[in-house]
Structure 1
Amino acid sequence: MIYAFDTYYYDDYANTICIAFKDWNSEQETEIFTEKTPITSDYESGAFYKRELPCILSLLNKINLESNDIIIVDGYVTLNDEGKIGLGGYLYEALEQKYPIVGIAKNGFASPDAQRREIFRGESKTPLFLTAKGADVDEIKPKVEQMDGDFRIPTLLKKLDQLTRL
């Protein structure tokens, strides 16, 4: 199973959603998990994970992961060649490196990262940015390219983003 997570922040709470789907080319989710949590940390530039990681970990408590499951985050797993990690890297560590974490980010990051791949979907000239830990980015890249949907953002990831804002 693949579990994709995203969080949207309101004034006094965070809305975290997880969409579960069977495989990379699924057209529909198999299940949706949702949780509203108090915001435990202000936004801190360069430390986004401090705000979002507790939300993801809390929602993960409602999900029974199996050894072959994959987790997708809206953001980066690795940030540069010197080993700096993003939200997904911190999640990978928090889960004791038991599950592959795939980061699919919409915005570029300036530091060079040999593990980052650009993905162009549909007719978009703007890439998505792929990073991962516990999985080979070069094996994941064609899977993300072939996810359902004709546009830059795959259908299920767009739905995930929309659900966080409801």
Structure 2
Amino acid sequence: MLACVDVHYLEHEAHGALLLFPSWDAAVATDRRVVRLPSPAEYKPGHFYERELPVVLALLAQVEHALEAVIIDGYVWLGAANERGLGAHLYEVLGRRVPVVGVAKTAFKGSDFATPVSRGEATRPLYVTAVGLDARVAAEHVRTMHGPYRVPTLLKDVDRLSRE
């Protein structure tokens, strides 16, 4: 089973969503989870994981299935020198047992280490990073995810669910 997660922030609350699906090319989720947590940590540059990780862990705590991988909205690594991003921190908390794949919609300075993935007729790529799974394999999985557009269907769905 695979999981994708996303978090949306309001002034005094964080809304997290998780979708479970059986394969990388699945068109629909087989299950979903939602959490709402009060007062997320303040955003600090380079410490985004401190804000998002508690929400993601609350979602994953609700999952009874063994996971093949967790897909996050963002980066696993923040630089070519393997500075840890949200995905790398999540991988550590999960005991290095569940691969984490980061799918980012925007590049940032120094993100040339991420694997660009073009989907559909989009002119801008997605940026894929991974831990616990070869980054090229992760990028190919993301490329083959369901949907005709730049962002795969289930990643759009989990984003929408986190905003409800």
What's the TM-score, normalizing by structure 1? 0.94
Q: Tell me the equivalent position of 1:26.
A: 26
State yes or no: 1:104 paired with 2:103.
yes
In the TM superposition, what whole-angstrom CA distance separates every residue of 1:49-83 from its partner, at most 9, and x where no partner exists?
110001111121111242x5210110000111212
Taking the aligned partners of 2:82 and 2:160, their CA distance within structure 1 comes to 32
Task: Return the alpha-carbon distance in structure 2 between the equivalents of residues 100 and 65 of structure 1.
Answer: 15
Contact 1:78–1:113 (Cα < 8 Å) also in 2: no
The secondary structure found in structure 1 opposite 2:92 is helix
State the shift of 1:5 in Å. 0.5
Report if aligned partners of 1:77, 1:132 keep a CA contact under 8 Å in 2.
yes
CA RMSD of aligned residues (A): 1.2
Q: CA deviation at 1:91?
A: 0.3
AA aligned to 1:105 is A
1:96 Cα offset (Å) = 1.3
**1:43 Cα offset (Å):** 1.4
2:56 and 2:152 mapped to 1: Cα distance?
21
Cα offset, 1:109, TM superposition: 2.1
What is the number of equivalent residue pairs in this alignment? Answer: 164
- Which residue number in structure 1 is paired with residue 39 of structure 2? 39
**Which amino acid in the other structure matches residue 51 of structure 2?**
R
Q: Please name the residue that 2:84 is paired with.
A: 85
Gaps of 5+ in 1: none
Contact 2:70/2:101 (<8 A) preserved: yes
One-letter code of the match for 2:40? T
Letter in 2 for 1:49: Y
Cα pair distance change 1:146/1:34, threshold 3 Å: same
Whole-angstrom distance in 1 between the partners of 2:89 and 2:138: 20
Cα separation, 2, equivalents of 1:123 and 1:52: 31
Secondary structure at the aligned position of 1:149 is classed as: coil
1:153 to 151, 154, 157: 151
The verdict on how the C-alpha distance between 1:110 and 1:65 changes in structure 2, with shifts beyond 3 A counting, is: farther
From 97, 115, 118, the equivalent of 2:116 is 118
Residue identity over aligned pairs, in percent, reads 37
1:163 has 2:161 as partner: yes
Partners of 1:22 and 1:97 lie apart in 2 by 21
Runs of 4+ with >3 A deviation: none
